Amino acid sequence: MKRLFSIMLCVLVSLLPSISFAGSSEAAAAKLPQAEVAAFANRVQQDLAARGAHVAIVSRVGRDPRKLPSGVNYTHVSFWVYSQIKHPDGRSGRGYRVYNLYQKSDNQTRSHLVQDSPVDFFAGAHKLDAGIIIPDIRLQKKLLKVIASPTYASLHNASYSVLANPNTNQFQNCTEHTLDVLFASIYDTKNVNQIKANIAAHFQPQVIQIGGLKRLLAPAISQALTTTDHREKIATATFGSIARFMDKNKLAKVTYRIDPLRATSF
């Protein structure tokens, strides 16, 4: 029996990349030249500023796109907020601060909230490609108010799951925290139960196709791959599902993707 279990685990390891897609670690090893990452981060900042974005939802590709589940294009989502920035040399200026939920490096089942820079955000990216949602002006104002308030941190649930069910508060990942803050802003509430009820009623998460064997054994590889907060169907919040929700409800000023060469519709 032990040998059979070991064989099953080996099979699972070979299949694991297709479900381990969150890409929410702040300590990912750099995969691209630092100068290219810095130039791309500045390009994204300049593009957002040119569009007059005070706050935007920005996503990155943190894993090999070929290994992502169907329907998933980006692996980490955050808020970018136009802010007063103090540079290491003491100079001050305006730029974007990035508000993230990251897995802890020493315990992948726990997360914390971290502010960093656009360059930090794209460090460890597998590909220089960002998905961007700029909310409409009214929603931007509401988001800025929530992000600057204690509500932003109070909506953080440190119990991390790659495939967190956005309809419950049992686990959370970066995209679900973004979604919770978004719904807190839309409905002017900090009540978690009300936020989850509104999400269940109005938001359509991304269905993730996972075979029964893979689902059964995944937690043996990493507890961050638990699906105990789901029933038969596994569905989680993704950048794409948030973009579809906002476009459907006319909450987005613009939704697009940007790479080093061009910006195109998402």
Of the candidates 49, 159, 179, 150, the residue with the CA atom closest to the CA atom of residue 104: 159
pLDDT at 244 over 70: yes
Q: Please provide the distance, in angstroms rounded to a whole number, between the alpha carbons at the two ends of the chain.
A: 48
Q: Which helix (H) or strand (E) holds 116?
A: strand 107-116
* Residue 117 backbone dihedrals phi, psi, to 5 degrees: -105, 165
User: Among 37-41, 111-115, 116-120, 226-230, which stretch is predicted with the lowest mean pLDDT?
Assistant: 226-230
pLDDT at 224 over 80: no
| Residues with Cβ within 8 Å of residue 148, at least 6 apart in sequence | none
Instruction: Dump pLDDT digits (tens) for 156-198.
Output: 999 999 889 999 999 999 999 999 999 999 999 999 999 999 9
Higher pLDDT, 226 or 118: 118
Q: What is the mean pLDDT of the chain?
A: 86
pLDDT at 218 over 50: no
What mean pLDDT do residues 70-98 have? 90
Q: What is the DSSP letter of 65?
A: G
pLDDT of residue 64: 86
pLDDT of residue 156: 98
Provide Rg for the chain, Cα atoms.
18
What mean pLDDT do residues 135-149 have? 98
Q: How confident is residue 85, by pLDDT bands cut at 50, 70 and 90?
A: confident
Q: How confident is residue 264, by pLDDT bands cut at 50, 70 and 90?
A: very high
Q: What SS3 state is found at 157?
A: coil
- Domain extent at residue 261: 18-265
> Does residue 189 form part of some domain?
yes
> Does residue 7 form part of some domain?
no
> Does residue 152 form part of some domain?
yes
> Does residue 170 form part of some domain?
yes
- Strand runs (DSSP E) across the chain, as ranges? 55-61, 76-86, 92-104, 107-116, 127-135, 206-207, 235-236, 252-258, 263-265
pLDDT of residue 19: 52
Q: How confident is residue 14, by pLDDT bands cut at 50, 70 and 90?
A: very low
- Its pTM stands at 0.87
pLDDT of residue 140: 98
Q: How confident is residue 67, by pLDDT bands cut at 50, 70 and 90?
A: confident
> Does residue 198 form part of some domain?
yes
pLDDT of residue 54: 98
What mean pLDDT do residues 232-249 have? 94
> Does residue 132 form part of some domain?
yes
- Domain count of the fold of the chain: 1
> Does residue 2 form part of some domain?
no
pLDDT of residue 7: 39
> Does residue 183 form part of some domain?
yes
Order across the sheet with 76-86: list the strands.
107-116, 92-104, 76-86, 55-61, 127-135, 252-258, 263-265
Residue 120 identity: D
pLDDT at 223 over 60: no
pLDDT at 21 over 60: no
pLDDT of residue 65: 86
